Amino acid sequence: MRAVILTTLCAVTLLWPQAATATAIAAEAAADPGTVITIDGQHLGSVFDGIGAISGGGGNSRLLIDYPAAQRNEILNYLFGRGGAALQLLKLEIGGDADSSDGAEPSIEHSRGQIDCKSGYEWWLAEQAVARNRSIKLYGLQWAAPGWIGSIWDRADISYVIAWLNCAKSHGLTISYLGGWNEHGYNIGWYEKLRTALNAKGYRSVQLVAADAHPTEGPYDPASAWAVANAAAADPTFKAAISVLGVHDTCDWPTDGYQCESTRTARGLGRPLWESEIGDMDGNTGAADMVRSINNGYIQAGITGYLEWPLMDSMPPGLPYENRGLVTADQPWSGYYTVNRMTWAIAQTTQFVKPGWRHVAGANSAIGDSGSYNSYESPDKRDWSLVTENSSHFFGQQVSAQNITVHLTGGLAAGVVRVWATNLWSADPATWFVRQPNIYPRAGVFSYSVPAGYAVSFTSTTGQFHYGATTAPAAPMELPYLATRDASNEAWGLASQEGAFIYRPCLRGAAAQCIEQLAPAPPIWWELPALGLPTPYAIVGDPSWTDYTVSAGVLFPAATGTASLIGRFGSQGGEANLFTGYEFDVRANGSWEITRNSDAGAADILASGSVAAFKPDTWHTITLSLNGSQVSATIDGKSAGSAIDATYQTGLAGIGSSWSLVQFRGLTISGEMRDNVGS
């Protein structure tokens, strides 16, 4: 770390070309005091609840567990360690076997009564987060649920949520917060019954968040977004059941952070107000939006907790919401990843302020005509931090440097001030979270000039640092691929888009473990598909793959069901069942089809036919081969059919099924990659 610190100190004059030293900066600001900020340790504001991120709302963290140990540890340090984003909250999707944006997360209970507390990778991720930050608070929320529950807000769902909490406990995890259903409004009776059940089952300490609502389409409507506050104000039992009011994207959608809104009723209810999802920001260009939202969320709307969506982009290419999150890590085969500017935008607050600190009343406002500031103090009223940003008050605004003059009073420490800065507009990582020269206030007063486009944090505390690691070089994923079980009990690199493809003991004489699609019925979807019933499938691979063969043994436990192989998957449309690529579907009754799929509408049948029906509980081998414009398939070594189609030239591979149990063994992809297509 010594070398890193020396490098960042040498970079100060590059960050502030108008002032080479801290003395020069102070002198310039003193000539024009600019915005005067008085931080009085006796003026207590609301408690700061923390900043975190969401793993879920899709399988956006799926590939992290498959990274080589060294790079995986580095990524986890960037997310949860002291020298990176230092996240203080982690929201986990309660898996429901259904697509919830960028894939599906597996349920703990695909069928009623069959609970598997080892299902999925979220438990592992939460364990890793807690290992790096013992104070991190965990939060669970449903986007979808297995079909046996019946419907959202069903009484059976309360039992399902309790089972999920029991699984968390079995992993040594404490869940501090629990929501209802993502962006499905609220059901007063359900929340009240859940509160009663939690108390009875030993989870009295779990705090309920209501209602994880998304603003209505069109102009942001605070009355609609915060309607749950009106309901709680009118119903004392409901109010007593919930501990936090959580709303999504209160700083506009897509989030820009210019105008953040809540309601008078929400602010007066006596419950913390959270941005329980703040999302749809690019992992790099959205950095300024994030910092503005944290500052203006409190200044304008009284928000004290923030959860950025998503945590990371660690999923196959071609899915709808790529390039979001704190880290991009979608190459587990090479170990390559990138730390996005969003990490350091969040660090400008999290490395300076801990949950339980308080905002300083009267020290949270605008800086000139283009920035904002937020002040915080420690519980003992000695330490303090000030987070400033100067990135504009409206889209397209021309921004210039803004001077501030800070007065420390009310018992706050007035000795050395440590300073860190991030250029929110720069794509150069050398300008992100850089240590600046210390400031030495005179009689508790210091001045500073905050450059255009920057977030600058000031603090009396120590311990901030910029974690640094050298990532492995990027490389395409090489063939052949042979599916093997990973630590999440899924196939290495294979990401479910619908359904749940999990390893189970093979049936009928096959040795070891097989991949089984375990969702036996359509789930309760987060958003009801509009263009036909989606079917389960999972993908793996690299966009450079071109001519290859996908092969697997398949077994139908019953006389119904479908097994599918996918080739040259390219991109997913507005719904998970809409994707570009070729698919070979084989049904238990012996009928088969080769289709050309689209991300915009129905698939086109390129070839079809039938063979003798498959006897239940027998193994058969199917293949899908792609060679130039020829698409061909076999069943048990015999040609089933073929077609000539040149629509798709490269892409990923995968497997699929219907909403019925089917097993796959020996999933193999062998062939070639195209050198001129990057991954």
Dist. CA 597–CA 441, nearest whole Å: 66
Residue 3, in any domain of the structure: no
- Kindly state the average pLDDT of the residues 92-116: 97
pLDDT tens-digit profile of 491-513? 999 999 999 999 999 998 766 89
Name the residue type at position 675.
D
Q: Residue 18 pLDDT more than 70? A: no
Q: What is the pLDDT of residue 461?
A: 98
Give 52's pLDDT tier (boundaries 50, 70, 90).
very high
**Number of residues that this document lists for the chain:** 679
Q: What is the pLDDT of residue 29?
A: 52
* Contact residues for 371 (Cβ-Cβ < 8 A; gap 6+): 388, 389, 390, 391, 393, 402, 450
Same-domain status, 410 and 494: no
* CATH number of the domain bearing residue 653: 2.60.120.560
Give 268's pLDDT tier (boundaries 50, 70, 90).
very high
Q: What is the pLDDT of residue 2?
A: 31
Dist. CA 314–CA 311, nearest whole Å: 9
Strand partners, 485: 491
* Strands in 489-590 per DSSP E: 495-498, 501-505, 513-517, 537-540, 545-555, 562-569, 581-587
Q: Are 203 and 227 in contact (CB under 8 A)?
A: no
Residue 334, in any domain of the structure: yes
Residue 37, in any domain of the structure: yes
pLDDT tens-digit profile of 623-672? 999 999 999 999 999 999 999 999 999 999 999 999 999 999 999 999 97
When divided into structural domains, the chain yields a total of: 3
Same-domain status, 166 and 244: yes
Q: What is the pLDDT of residue 230?
A: 98
Q: Residue 333 pLDDT more than 80? A: yes
**Distance (Å) of CA 629 to CA 115, 382, 492, 644:** 45, 71, 29, 5
Q: What are phi and psi of 512, to 5 degrees?
A: 60, -140
Rg (CA), the chain: 27
Per-residue DSSP letters for 146-180?
-GGG-STT-HHHHHHHHHHHHHHHHTT--EEEEEE
- Kindly state the average pLDDT of the residues 263-292: 97
pLDDT tens-digit profile of 545-593? 999 999 999 999 999 999 999 999 999 998 889 999 999 999 999 999 9
pLDDT tens-digit profile of 376-404? 999 999 999 999 999 999 999 999 999 99
Joined together, the tokens standing for residue 590 give 């012996």
Over the chain, what is the mean pLDDT? 93
Q: Residue 25 pLDDT more than 60? A: no
Find where tokens 């109010």 sit: 239
**Distance (Å) of CA 477 to CA 333, 407, 648, 656:** 6, 56, 19, 21
**Distance (Å) of CA 96 to CA 143, 183, 214, 493:** 7, 15, 20, 20
pLDDT tens-digit profile of 630-642? 999 999 999 999 9
Joined together, the tokens standing for residue 458 give 């000031």
Residue 678, in any domain of the structure: no
In a 10 Å sphere around its CB, with 0-12 CB exposed, 13-18 middle and 19+ buried, how is residue 185 labelled?
Answer: middle
The Cβ-side half-sphere exposure at 76, using a 13 Å CA radius, reads 21
Q: Residue 678 pLDDT more than 60? A: no
Q: Residue 199 pLDDT more than 80? A: yes
- Kindly state the average pLDDT of the residues 7-33: 44
Q: What is the pLDDT of residue 388?
A: 98
* CATH number of the domain bearing residue 382: 3.20.20.80
Same-domain status, 185 and 135: yes
In a 10 Å sphere around its CB, with 0-12 CB exposed, 13-18 middle and 19+ buried, how is residue 111 labelled?
Answer: middle
Find where tokens 């209602």 sit: 211
Residue 247: name the closest of 288, 299, 297, 194 by CA.
Answer: 297
Residue 464, in any domain of the structure: no
**Distance (Å) of CA 406 to CA 30, 459, 594:** 11, 12, 69
What is the C-alpha end-to-end distance of the chain, expressed in Å?
32
Residue 279, in any domain of the structure: yes
Boundary residue ending a domain (352, 369, 395): 352
Residue 473, in any domain of the structure: no
Same-domain status, 79 and 211: yes
Q: Residue 280 pLDDT more than 90? A: no
Q: How many helices (H) and strands (E) does the chain have?
A: 13, 36
pLDDT tens-digit profile of 70-100? 999 999 999 999 999 999 999 999 999 999 9
pLDDT tens-digit profile of 300-328? 999 999 999 999 999 999 999 999 999 99
Residue 474: name the closest of 338, 317, 334, 340 by CA.
Answer: 334
Same-domain status, 312 and 261: yes
For CA atoms 488, 494, 499, 501, give the dihedral sign: negative
Same-domain status, 243 and 157: yes
Query: If phi over 0 gives left and psi between -120 and 50 gives alpha, with beta otherwise, what is residue 469?
Result: beta
Joined together, the tokens standing for residue 399 give 């921004």
Dist. CA 227–CA 531, nearest whole Å: 31
Give 220's pLDDT tier (boundaries 50, 70, 90).
confident
Give 208's pLDDT tier (boundaries 50, 70, 90).
very high
Joined together, the tokens standing for residue 315 give 């999923």
Residue 397, in any domain of the structure: yes
Joined together, the tokens standing for residue 105 give 């997360």
Q: Which domain holds residue 278?
A: 49-352
Q: Residue 3 pLDDT more than 60? A: no
Q: Residue 13 pLDDT more than 70? A: no
Same-domain status, 188 and 40: no
Same-domain status, 273 and 376: no
Same-domain status, 281 and 257: yes
Boundary residue ending a domain (333, 352, 371): 352
Dist. CA 402–CA 386, nearest whole Å: 15
Same-domain status, 61 and 180: yes
Give 254's pLDDT tier (boundaries 50, 70, 90).
confident
- Give the CA-trace dihedral at 507, 513, 517, 523, to 10 degrees: 110
Residue 658: name the closest of 567, 593, 599 by CA.
Answer: 593
* Beta strands at 481-482 and 662-673: parallel, antiparallel or unpaired: antiparallel
Same-domain status, 404 and 494: no
Same-domain status, 306 and 455: no
Q: Residue 613 pLDDT more than 90? A: yes
Residue 521: name the closest of 509, 503, 533, 506 by CA.
Answer: 533
In terms of pTM, does the model score above 0.85? yes
Q: In whole angstroms, what separates CA 246 from the centre of its chain?
A: 17
Boundary residue ending a domain (321, 352, 383): 352
Q: Pinpoint the alpha helices (H) of 32-111.
A: 69-80
Q: What is the pLDDT of residue 528?
A: 84
Q: Residue 233 pLDDT more than 50? A: yes
Strand partners, 346: none
Is 290 or 254 the better-scoring residue by pLDDT?
290
